[in-house]
Structure 1
Amino acid sequence: MGTRNLLVALAGQPNCGKSTVFNLLTGARQHVANYPGVTVEKKTGSYTVDDTCVELVDLPGTYSLTSYSLEERVARDFLLGDNPAVVINVADGSNLKRNLYLTLQLLEMEVPTVLNLNMMDVVERRGQKIDIARLQEILGIPVVPTKAKKGEGKEALRVAVKQLADSRTESMFSIDYGLMEPHIAELEKELREDPVLSIQYPVRWLAIKLLENDVEAITLLERTHPDAQQVLQLKESCRTRFQEEAGNSIERHIAFTRHGMCAKITRETVTFPADKRRSLSDRADKYVCNRYLGPVILIAILMVLYQVAIVFGNWLALQVWPAWGALENFAAEYLPAAGFVDDPLLRSLGMWVVKSTTAILNYLPIFFLLFSLIAILEDSGYMPRMAFILDRLFRRFGLHGQSTLPMILGGVYVGGCAIPGVMATKAIPDERARLATIMIVPMMNCLAKVPLYLILIGAYFADVGGLAMFFIATVTLFMALPVAKLLSLTVLKKQPSAPFIMEMPPYHIPALAGTMRRAGERIWLFLKKIVTVVAAVAVVVFVLINYPGLPEDRQAYYDDMRSTAVQRFMKDVYKTEFNGQILQSDVLPIILFDESLKRAKQGVTDSDKAAAINDQFQADNPVYYAVVKRVGKDGKKLNRSLRNVIKVRKKVRRESRSERFENSFLGTMGKALEPVTQWAGFNWRINIALLSAFAAKENSAATLGSIYGIDGDQSVQESMKAGETGFTALHALALMLFMALYPPCVPTSIMVRHQSNSTKWMLFSIGYQTLLGLFVASLVFTGGTVLGLTGFQTMWAFYGLCVVATLVMGLIPTPDEKETDVIATTTPCKENCS
């Protein structure tokens, strides 16, 4: 007899230990992807029991199976469309009353269910007792207790799943909705007239969902029923009659009935200890969630998060950088050799792509620390408390308590990255708030913006650098909150909004293995989605920056400079013992030999190793080595002459690159934009820097350096001040604000497309931030010029304007504003959790 395959779903509310149960059952045989067409993560695994191979799908954690959030819709669609043979409903045994709310809905959907009472170790620790036999009798389904964290109950759960799949026994449990029952029966009768619908979907469940006015259920009906409008008319009639009879809405009646049933079952099956002492979590929450002390603790935790992830992460990135530098050196050695003026195309493109990739890889230590710390906050139970503390503020601006983390990752102060910030929005259940958060995360101060800030502050606000940095670090939040509110009132107004359900799970000590695994998974996803994009974008930017290239007369001019420098060197060669050993064709190879030797000794501090490298190079080419290392009288003489050639080469390469840049496609675009950007004080050179930043914001500072001819003798700030006469602190302020509001870079834009699942929202994000940034920069520059204000005066006038705008926008009510429901560890879910 061959092996049979079995599809099993794992369902449960958040914080019930579902992921631990999934890991317990599947071990290392797991795969993470996304559900087709949506951003919700899909985790699958497998295990074998006897002759049965079980494919286990971990459904998103949901409190119920309504259609409020994307996670709820995904979970429900999977149960209806994929028809799993068994559903393992993981429930927190220590909070049975709350967890049964999902169980009852699974039974209404008539899916074969095994109730897994997890966290039984917590049940025992709290002195509770659960009558498993009685619970099994009431619900009519198998009930299996487990202690997943301790690895107990795995085999019993696997056996229960196989037995239920073999027997296909259906539960006879049904909720009596009282006054609503006649209306359910009336709608059921109408639905059963379509036999196809009756076979595809549980009719009683569909009738209840229609009476509940569930949007997805209505859509499902319209898609499958031949006379959907007649059914919908009957549904409206039933709803109206019930409200007249009961004096209550159907939604409230259903929620109260379900909660009443959960309470009744709990009373019959759970015994609580006589002395109900407050748990440690409840005692801690007295301070952690306090109206006044809570925000102080939150700020302290965020400061630690910032210090460890950003400051220590930057230090760690510096320690790791030699590895990326070695990768660049490896590429430099094996790609075609560099030229005197221009490099071969393969080398130029190869080095460009490698450097673009290593620039992103350099952030990996920071991201790994961030993801690890986030996993610790999630596993410890603090993340919901953070959302609870900030929800009251954020809801006034169309955001969500869970918008906190994406904004922190994006750089709500200074030093984040928009890519993981946008990635983190997938945890926000409210679609309107989620999209609003996605739209403002790129406005935060990511690390890539900081180099440009530092250049401008050092050049034009050096005497008030601390205040200028505080301004740009905080004004972005006062710009982002009003923008989020405006988006919620306009383009996002019709997006679905879910009730804000929040659970305060008990505090846990995070497991190191789980933390590392989740951080590793996120890093791997980041690498797969971003590095490939960066490499592709690097090729596009390379073409835009380097083509169509220099005119023939300018290329001839630089070739003449090269030829003159080489001829001077050769005249010196003729006067030395190297005459005849060094030819004109050897000049560039000698320079490259010098560069290779320096790369080989880079980071080498041991004198013996350095000597061994010198010996190797001397053996490879004694003549080149003598010139480069000043061996003998003639070697010293030619070395001085070689330094002059190298100086000319650097100048030629720098100036030709700058000129090629000006005449490139990107340079032409910069000049074409001048009529628009002049009101913000930007000329074509600034426009080029900003255009190049679209690929990666780090490019803005690097491009300015290239344009203004930065070399080792001048700082970036000095070079810019010298190269851009007439540029004032007011110009710098406008440029800083434009960069703050700059549209998302290409990798972030790809992530916006991925998380919003819409090209439209990606294009909107790019477009509105571009226009907003240009408007603000023009307002600041033109307004400051007209009023005769200095850059510093304009800075604080604009800051005050942003604060006032934030206060005013906060007073405008948000559409369908919902109150926060907090589900404590020992209290039932409130009504609109349904």
Structure 2
Amino acid sequence: MTISHITMALAGNPNSGKTTLFNALTGARQYVGNWPGVTVEKKEGKLKFEDKNLILVDLPGTYSLSPYSMEEIIAKNYVINEKPDVVVNIVDASNIERNLFLTMQLLELGRPTVIALNMMDVAKAKGYEIDVTKLSMELGVPVVPIIASKSEGINELISRAITEADVQNQTMPQKMQDFVNKLEEKISGITDPELAEETKTDYTYEYIEGIIKSAVKKPSSHKITTSDKVDSVLTHKYLGLPIFALVMFFTFFFTYDLAGNVLNGMLDEFITGIVAPTAEAGLMAIGAQDWLISLVVDGIIGGVGGVIIFVPNVACLFLMISLMEDTGYMARVAFIMDRAMRGIGLSGKAFIPMVLGLGCSVPAIMSTRTLESQKDRLTTTLITPFVSCSARLPVYTLFAAAFFPGNEKYIVFSLYVLGVVVAILVGLIFKKTIFKADETPFIMELPPYRFPSIKNLALHVWDRVKGYIAKAGTLIFGASVVLWFLLGFNMSGPSEINQSFGASIGKFFAPMLSTAGFGNWQAALSLFTGVIAKEIVISNMAIIYGIGESAGDFASALSGTFSTLSAYAFMVFVLLYTPCIAVIGVVKRETNSYKWTAFSILYQLFVAWLVATIVYQVGSFFI
């Protein structure tokens, strides 16, 4: 009996190539959400293979199925409770001994399983000789060698997985049954759970060692690999940090000078020079009311267009972040930053969420659950939003181009550096006050460097840019309509903008911002609405001033309310103040505390005001 609809779970260690395989199989045909009841990302994809319809479920990357972290619990519960038709276990052939620990635990669960022996090219470069047939006999399940980054062996892997899934009432392989029986014998009579777990782990590694001796030949001496040679420079005690700074500077140079601004200008010209005038002419031709023309042209096109034109800059930034992730450099960043992070009581691993925060603070905060201690997770959650996310990029791009023409990359780079510095300083204060605790050891695998797949890079960038565009088409679209109403009406009906609801809100908050140099209602209202989404800061200003989104338009319109110094202080405030509602929501879910959520909102607002005020007041002595 065969089935035409197959659920296939992908399981594997971090850095084993699981995501690369998932992307190679599903391409853009994937759905990203959260596992029910938790905020760990869940990916599902669809694949048509011959006459079969496959649903691929990408389980969280994990080193084991011990119930200590959310990822381990999710992976184990899914295999046990959801009973996928087949489990594809991705194993890094170049690090096979460590990877097989998870393999043994998966096989214990008794589901049909196929081993995808990935990175065979890397294993060969290390001098490993793997007898795939022997390995399959030792494990009692099919083993298929693949190179996921080059799509080699993937068709055979899927074919073997389908064959395994088609076998009904499959029993545990005899080899595995013998291992389980011996394991139970080893721990029988042990009443201490920790000792029992330690005994199981020791015996499992002994068993794996026997498999390795039987099926794998390793070089007699350690071979210096290309990754080792590159690491001797990139993770050097003294050179590592300056090189990382140069990498980040080039990221912003690429985002602005090499690609972003060229495409940005073209898109700006298209929206302001073609879309807006065409829409206005079309509405006038059909006799539309003035208020409707204003809503569409000034509210919707002006608001949404003010965000859309920055898609090239955002795409360039995400491309550089994806390159760092896919090449393996991101893991080195954690190693490089370990010493600095130790100064605030955290390990270098805590810097990974901060780097991920360059894209978006939501997944960055979610990634803190990989940290070992609750203190580390909470500290990192509270300081990560200071690292500037891509949503703030439109504000920097426009203000830097308007007030610092020709020096945009230096201004924006300084803001990103300032965000990291503030995060570290605040973390140091936390260490000395509310989060006193012993430091946790830093243990992290450095994967080999890899040439990124163009296809995977394109998928990563598109997935993130798609989310940015979707936000512009939904949240920012709705906010633009609401802002148009707030700026055009008051309790008496249609009004001048200075007498509108929006102006009243802005005038209420404006005095609080005067010490930072931008105590006008327009800036205050823009910052207030920016809590919904930081991109709305620019949308709001475009609507308030009734201008296009070009740097020249903004420089002209804002010259009366902003100086060069106050413009920079404004960007500093945008960098540091309370993040968007999506981030606030994930802080609540991750901390499971209204107290810590409220604390994060208020203290970040205070830090933003304090630093922006210092910048403006100290800068006033020199400018």
Normalised by the size of structure 1, how large is the TM-score? 0.61
* Structure 1 residue 471: Cα displacement: 7.3
Q: 2:620 aligns with which of 768, 785, 791?
A: 791
Q: Does residue 743 of structure 1 match 2:578? A: yes
Tell me which of 493, 502, 517 is aligned to 2:444: 502
Measured in 2, the distance between the counterparts of 1:701 and 1:405 equals 34
What amino acid is aligned across from residue 490 of structure 2 in structure 1? P
In structure 1, the residue matched to 2:374 is none
How far residue 350 of structure 1 moved from its aligned partner, in angstroms, is 1.5
Deviation (angstroms), 1:384: 1.2
The Cα of 1:154 is off from its aligned counterpart by 2.6
| Aligned counterpart in structure 2 of residue 698 of structure 1, from 538, 562, 565 | 538
Which deviates further from its counterpart, 398-407 or 362-371?
Answer: 398-407
Please tell me whether the aligned partners of residues 303 and 540 of structure 2 are also in contact (alpha carbons under 8 angstroms): no
2:325 pairs with one of 371, 378, 382: 378
Aligned to 2:130: 130
- The aligned counterpart of 1:518 is 460
Structure 2 vs 1, CA of residues 120 and 363 (structure 1 numbering), >3 Å: closer, same or farther?
A: same
Question: AA paired with 1:56?
Answer: L
Matched, 1:768 2:603: yes
Secondary structure of 2:114 counterpart = strand
CA contact (8 A) 2:88 2:113 kept: yes
Instruction: Structure 2: state its 5+ residue gaps.
Output: 372-376
- Which of 204, 223, 234 is equivalent to 1:288? 234
Cα 1:350–1:405 shift into 2, 3 Å: farther
Residues 688-741 of structure 1: CA deviation (Å, up to 9, x unaligned): 45435545232576588689xxx98994565237xxxxx997x88876654443
Query: 1-side partners of 2:578 and 2:316: how far apart?
Result: 26
Shift of 1:315: 2.2
Asked if residue 333 in structure 1 is aligned to residue 270 in structure 2, the reply is no
Distance 1:371 1:466 in 2: 16
Q: Which of 322, 341, 344 is the aligned partner of 1:397?
A: 344
Shift of 1:114: 2.2
1:388 maps onto 2:223 in alignment: no
SS of match in other structure, 2:621? helix
Q: How does 1:647-662 map to 2 (within 5 A)?
A: 660-662=496-498
- Compared CA separation, residues 123 and 490, structure 1 to 2 (3 A): same
1:45 positional shift: 2.4
Distance in 1, matches of 2:295 and 2:409, equals 40
Seen in structure 2, the aligned counterparts of structure 1 residues 532 and 395 have a Cα distance that, compared at 3 Å, is farther
Preserved contact between residue 549 and residue 663 of structure 1 (Cα < 8 Å): no
Cα distance change of structure 1 residues 688 and 791 upon mapping to structure 2, 3 Å threshold: same
Rounded Cα–Cα distance in structure 2 between residues aligned with 1:87 and 1:399: 36
- Call closer, same or farther: CA 1:751–1:332 in 2, change over 3 Å: farther
Q: CA deviation at 1:168?
A: 1.0
Provide the aligned length of Structure 1 versus Structure 2.
595
Tell me whether 1:666 sits opposite 2:502 in the alignment.
Answer: yes
One of 416, 422, 432 as aligned partner of 1:479:
422
Shift in CA distance, 470/271, structure 1 to aligned 2, threshold 3 Å: closer
Q: Summarize the alignment of residues 226-375 of structure 1 with structure 2, pairs less than 5 Å apart.
A: 255-274=201-220, 276-312=222-258, 313-325=260-272, 326-336=274-284, 344-351=290-297, 352-375=299-322
Percent identity for Structure 1 against Structure 2: 30
Which of 184, 187, 190 in structure 2 is aligned with 1:181? 187
**Cα gap change, 1:371 to 1:145, in 2 (>3 Å):** same
In 1, Cα distance between equivalents of 2:347 and 2:61: 18
CA distance in 2, matches of 1:693, 1:318: 24
Q: Secondary structure of 2:306's partner?
A: helix
1-structure distance, mates of 2:157, 2:529? 60
CA 1:285–1:409 in 2, change beyond 3 Å: closer, same or farther? closer
Structure 1 CA distance for aligned equivalents of residues 456 and 504 of structure 2: 52
How far apart in 1 are the matches of 2:408 and 2:119?
54
- CA separation in 2, counterparts of 1:379 and 1:465? 28
What's the counterpart of residue 435 of structure 1?
381
Letter in 2 for 1:477: V
Query: 1:286: Cα distance to partner?
Result: 1.5
Deviation at 1:46, TM superposition (A): 3.2
Q: In structure 2, the residue corresponding to 1:115 is in which secondary structure?
A: strand
Q: Is the 8 A contact 1:666 1:691 kept in 2?
A: no
C-alpha offsets along residues 373-429 of structure 1, whole Å, 9 cap, x if unaligned? 223222222221122211332344366646656655766xxxxxxx63544555552
Deviation at 1:32?
Answer: 3.8
TM-score, length basis structure 2: 0.79
Distance 1:118 1:465 in 2: 43
RMSD after superposition: 4.5
User: Whose radius of gyration is greater, 1 or 2?
Assistant: 1
Q: Secondary structure at the match of 2:496?
A: helix
Which residue of structure 2 aligns with residue 234 of structure 1? Answer: none
The one-letter amino acid of 2:344's match is F
Counterparts of 1:337 and 1:491 in 2: how far apart (Å)? 64
Paired residues of 2:396 and 2:412 also in contact (CA < 8 A): no
| Separation (CA, whole Å) in 1 of partners of 2:169 and 2:127 | 35
SS in structure 2 at match of 1:6:
strand
Contact 1:22 1:58 (C-alpha < 8 Å) held by counterparts: yes
Does the CA contact (< 8 Å) of 1:336 and 1:346 recur in 2?
A: no
Deviation at 1:78, TM superposition (A): 1.6
Indicate the SS of the match to 1:502.
coil
Cα offset, 1:548, TM superposition: 1.0
